[in-house]
Structure 1
Amino acid sequence: MRSPLVRGLVGSVVVAFASLVTSVVPPSSWVASFPITSDLRATLPGRMVGLSFMVAGLGLLAWAWLSTGRQVLAGQRPPLLRMATYWSLPLLLIPPLFSRDAWSYAAQGALVAEGFDPYAVGPGALSGHIIEAVDPMWMQTPAPYGPLPLAYGGLMAKLTMDPYVLMLAHRLLAVVGVILIAWAVPRLATACRVDPVFATWLVVANPMLLTHGIGAAHNDMLMLGLACSAFALALTGHWGTAAVLAGVAAAVKLPGGLVAIAIAAVMSPLAGRMQRVASLAIAGALSVLSLVTVGALTGVGSGWLGALDVPGLVRSPFSIANLVGGATSGILGWLGEDTAAEQSLQIIRLAGMLLAVTVIAVLSLRSSIHYAARAVGIALLTIVLLGPTAHDWYFLWCLPFLAVARPGRRVTTAITAISLIFTIAAPLNSSLRGATIPILTTTALVLVIVAPLLNRARTLLAAPRPTVGV
């Protein structure tokens, strides 16, 4: 497997077969009764075999990505889009990787199809096969997503109530998002005077994007693809269309609307502060109007704004506000201040969001066209780190924007290291909650594979980067 394309394809195939053992699936689906893998799924040793192959496959995919990066940094031009396509193909029909969110998407679409308000009730209002694989944590919670994916899910659910087919329909949205990212990133990179081949390698061929985006079928990919496309359109002078598209991105998940920062910078590249405020107001108004229009046209409405706190039910360790709030709450509880302990987490989360809003406001007013991509990337990263919760795939939000913002060696190294860790360690997610032996074993496997890959990344990025002349 000297060829990175072949090595990555083999790794992706291994991941696909391992998912038949490790992924949560409805007991009524074909995967649950698939020969051999169904027997492995039924026992702890069998599941550990599946986890071992999963981590090994992810390691091969990450190794292939780093080897391709070595070619790019040496000035070569490997067929990155073809490679990313081949690496993605084995992931198209498999069960969702690392997360059960796609099963929630299917159930929420069924709620729409059955006439329920998905912003008032959770999947628990349904019965039957459609909710078999939904995480119990989300069974009674309303949908925190925008009207676009819910309306699409409702349309698909009117055609079939098979949860597996509906999951695949939502994966199609993720694929569309990745295609939009692949279209926009080289254009953004060229406009920002970054080598488009380098940016495409860092973003589009990134195993974290492929496995978490396509493999896990997260609707974050559609949000991100629309946001990147909006920025690319703004750079061609179509900032009005770009602002409308930013509103459509927000209609998937609200953070997508932050691309309006870049659109405003494009509208008034040499303007003073008051002109920038006016540009932000115009771009923001068009985006909000687009968002409200999508809710009205789909019939889903805007009730999702009241459910934005639902993801905060998970106390993610990636959120700084969660870490500080959890530590403060634990100390106060140990001191016997139970009431203060209960309130401290919420107070610190609120402080984190206020700080995030302040940072975004400053970025909105001070970003120029040359630093617009960086401003959006930092704004999204701020939301992830200071927000009430953060999952590993949330870091994909800022990836395209930081990758085209003339990243230095330190930023590139950080992006590469985070991508490797969040790819290889992805099986250590909520689906392993409470499973001590799988967690310890998988952690050991991750450490064994991640360490040499990180060392390879360090030597890789020590080489000089190619530049692009524009």
Structure 2
Amino acid sequence: MTVTRWGGFAAAALLAAGSYTAGALPGGDPGAALRRSGLGATPLPFQIGLAACLVGLAGLVAAWWRLGATVRAGEVGGRALAVTGALWTLPLLVAAPLGSRDVYSYACQGWLYASGADPYALGPAEGGCPWVAAVAPVWQDATAPYGPVAIALAAAAASAGGGLLGTAGLLRLVAVAGVVLAAVALPRLARSCGVEPARAAWLGVCTPLVAVHAIAGAHHDALVAGLVLAALAAAPRRPAGAGLLLGLAVAVKVTAVVALPFAVLLVAAPVRRWLLGGTAAAAFAAVSLATGLGVGWVAAVSGTTDQTQWTSLPTGVGMSVGYVLRGFGAGAGADDAVLAARLSGLGLLALALAALATGAWRRRTQPRTVVLHCGAALAALALLSPVFYPWYALTALAVLAVAAQAPVRRWLAVATGALAFLTLPNGLGVAALTKLPGAFFDLALAVVVAWLWLRPQLSRRLSGVRV
């Protein structure tokens, strides 16, 4: 255990060291030429930092995997796991942002609001944010798609930070607070589901994905994950408190609303269910009114779908069809193929959410089943939406960690380790470098999943046919 603990710390330290020449630096992208001209066109310090980051991340994933074996063997309890996770986090608290430049977007959105402007109407560039050069070019003109709590927290950070670095540091502390909240709530929720808390914490909180994208990346999703887990844990005994937490989660990112019906089903008495739902709605409305921001984020959310990446399963399927169309000289239909695939994905998402909510209602006396369905709904939302980034999976993985059965947990662990590598330290997505193979991987995956789902039904139908 000691070797694993300190090995993970050394890997995290190497990752943090590499971030200062290959991370998402505020002065600009040190690896901007990578996508256009390849690694050889990037500066030597960037290449060294990138190598350090990749080796450090691989070492952290390996240490985490070994830690999981000791947890499953019962050799590591919750306290030792918490100490290990905290130790691995320490170097990343002082690292440059990793995997994304979103924290600079948050900072500018907060600056706009603190300056009296509306971040739902103005992007960082148009609003005159002094830190706009640090924002990823694709988001410099984009309005904020986040709820009023996210904007208010960013504004507080911008007001107290004294500059971009101070603001980014305070936003990282907000993300850390979300991780701590998740770590505190997860054991209680795991016990209510009959799952060993240490096993759930290893898969849901103490992961390389959390280290890179929640801590180092300072994403709002860390706070959402903490609030949702805390709400699910509080729901059976404190429905009003759970409703408050869920209302705040939705006021950070509206996608958290998917967890609401499942939290309601964790409450036994019908009257108390209404209390939870009503409190959540009241909390969201109160925050929206208090900040004066209202629901302006609705229009901005649609703007996030402008990115076309195969990391979204429907988008990848549409891209693969588009490549085939181009091969036959019908490239004009490529964009239509992506749009049709995305609309189909949203249709499947609606069906999946309805089926999961119905299944949870039928087995509402079984908390583990309800929580499992909640995690599956959050996962479906992430996978079937038009755009997917690895930090979108944080909440779903944390909820699934407390309810999934052993075979599923193994696949979740593999996915968690793989997702940590989905973006390079400077924020360039691996998907941008692997468009064609990634798109056809999605198509193959969709075919396999469809076949696995249809095969039992076809077998039942064929078995009933008399020859």
- TM tier, smaller: 0.7 to 0.9
Q: Is the 8 Å Cα contact of residues 81 and 202 (structure 2) preserved in structure 1?
A: yes
How far the C-alpha of 1:281 sits from its partner, in A, is: 6.7
**Secondary structure in 1 matching 2:121:** coil
Structure 1 residue aligned with 2:298: 305
- Do 2:107 and 2:168's aligned partners in 1 also have CA atoms closer than 8 Å? yes
With over 3 angstroms needed to count, the CA separation of the structure-2 counterparts of 1:344 and 1:280, relative to structure 1, is farther
Q: How has the CA–CA distance of structure 1 residues 69 and 177 changed in structure 2, closer, same or farther, with 3 Å as cutoff?
A: same
Give the counterpart letter for 1:416 in structure 2: A
Q: CA deviation at 1:337?
A: 5.0
Q: Distance in 1 between matches of 2:281 and 2:430?
A: 39
1:388-421 deviations in whole A, cap 9, x for unaligned? 110112122211211111x333212111111222
Moved more, 157-166 or 54-63: 157-166
Structure 1 residue 342 displacement after superposition:
3.1
TM-score, normalisation: structure 2: 0.83
Residue number in structure 2 paired with 1:107:
108
SS, match of residue 420 in structure 2: helix
Match of 1:456 in 2: none
1:251 is aligned to: 251
Q: Supply the distance in 2 between the matched residues of 1:286 and 1:308 (Cα, whole angstroms).
A: 24
Distance in 1 of aligned mates of 2:148 and 2:214: 20
Q: In the alignment, which residue of structure 1 is the partner of 2:354?
A: 361
Aligned residue in 1 for 2:444:
none
- Report the equivalent of 1:205: 206
Of 326, 340, 343, which aligns to 2:319?
326
In structure 2, C-alpha distance between the alignment counterparts of 1:404 and 1:112, rounded to whole Å: 37
CA contact (8 A) 2:312 2:385 kept: yes
Give the direction of change, closer, same or farther, for the CA distance of 1:263–1:48 in structure 2 (3 Å limit). Answer: same
Alignment partner of 2:142: what SS? coil
Amino acid in the other structure paired with 1:372:
V
**CA distance 1:192–1:172, shift in 2 (3 Å):** same
Cα distance in 2, alignment partners of residues 391 and 425 from structure 1 = 8
Residues 186, 200 of structure 1: 8 Å contact kept: yes
2:55 maps to 56
Could you tell me how far apart the structure 1 residues matched to 2:314 and 2:274 are? 29
Shift in Å, 1:10: 0.8
- Tell me the amino acid that sits aligned with residue 225 of structure 1: G
Q: 1:384 aligns with which of 379, 382, 385?
A: 382
Q: Distance in 1 between matches of 2:258 and 2:431?
A: 37
CA contact under 8 A between 1:244 and 1:287: conserved in structure 2? yes
- Match of 2:189? 188
Residues 179 and 223 of structure 2 are in contact (CA less than 8 Å); yes or no, is this contact kept in structure 1?
Answer: yes
**Match for residue 38 of structure 2?**
none
Counterpart position of 1:124 = 125
**Is 1:221–2:222 an aligned residue pair?**
yes
Q: Any idea what the Cα deviations from partners look like across 1:100-119, whole Å, max 9, x if unmatched?
A: 00011111111111222111
CA distance 1:435–1:340, change in 2 (3 Å) = closer
- The separation in 2 between residues aligned to 1:167 and 1:322, in whole angstroms, is 31
Deviation, structure 1 residue 208 = 1.2
**Residue type matched to 1:420 in 2?**
G
**Matched residues, percent identical?**
31
1:455 match: none
Structure 1 residue aligned with 2:424: 427
1:21 alignment counterpart: 21
- CA shift at 1:217, angstroms? 0.5
Structure 1 stretch displaced more, 18-27 or 380-389 = 18-27
- The aligned residue for residue 335 of structure 2 is 342
**Aligned partner (choices 407, 427, 436) of residue 410 of structure 1:** 407
Contact 2:113 2:151 in 1 (8 A): yes
Aligned to 1:296: 289
Could you tell me which residue of structure 1 aligns to residue 66 of structure 2?
67
Q: Cα deviation per residue 1:349-379 (whole Å; 9 max; x = unaligned)?
A: 1221122122212222321233111111110
Q: Which residue of structure 2 aligns with residue 449 of structure 1?
A: none
Any idea what SS the aligned residue of 1:124 has? coil
| Aligned residue in 1 for 2:165 | 164
Q: 1:98: how far off? A: 0.9
Residue-pair matches, total: 422
**1:287 — aligned with what?**
280
Compare 367-376 and 330-339 and name the one that shifted more: 330-339
Please state whether the residue corresponding to 2:144 is helix, strand or coil.
Answer: coil
Superposition deviation, residue 380 in structure 1: 0.7
Q: What CA distance in whole angstroms lies between the structure 2 residues aligned with 1:392 and 1:430?
A: 12
Write the mapping of 1:446-457 to structure 2, written as runs, cut at 5 A: none
Find the residue that maps to 2:215 and give its secondary structure.
Answer: helix
Aligned partners of 2:412, 2:105: CA distance in 1, in Å?
Answer: 29
- Contact between 1:151 and 1:300, CA under 8 Å: does it hold in 2? no
AA aligned opposite 1:191: S
Offset of 1:295 from its aligned partner?
1.2
Report SS of the residue matched to 1:77: coil
Partner of 1:149: 150
* Secondary structure of residue in 2 paired with 1:3: helix
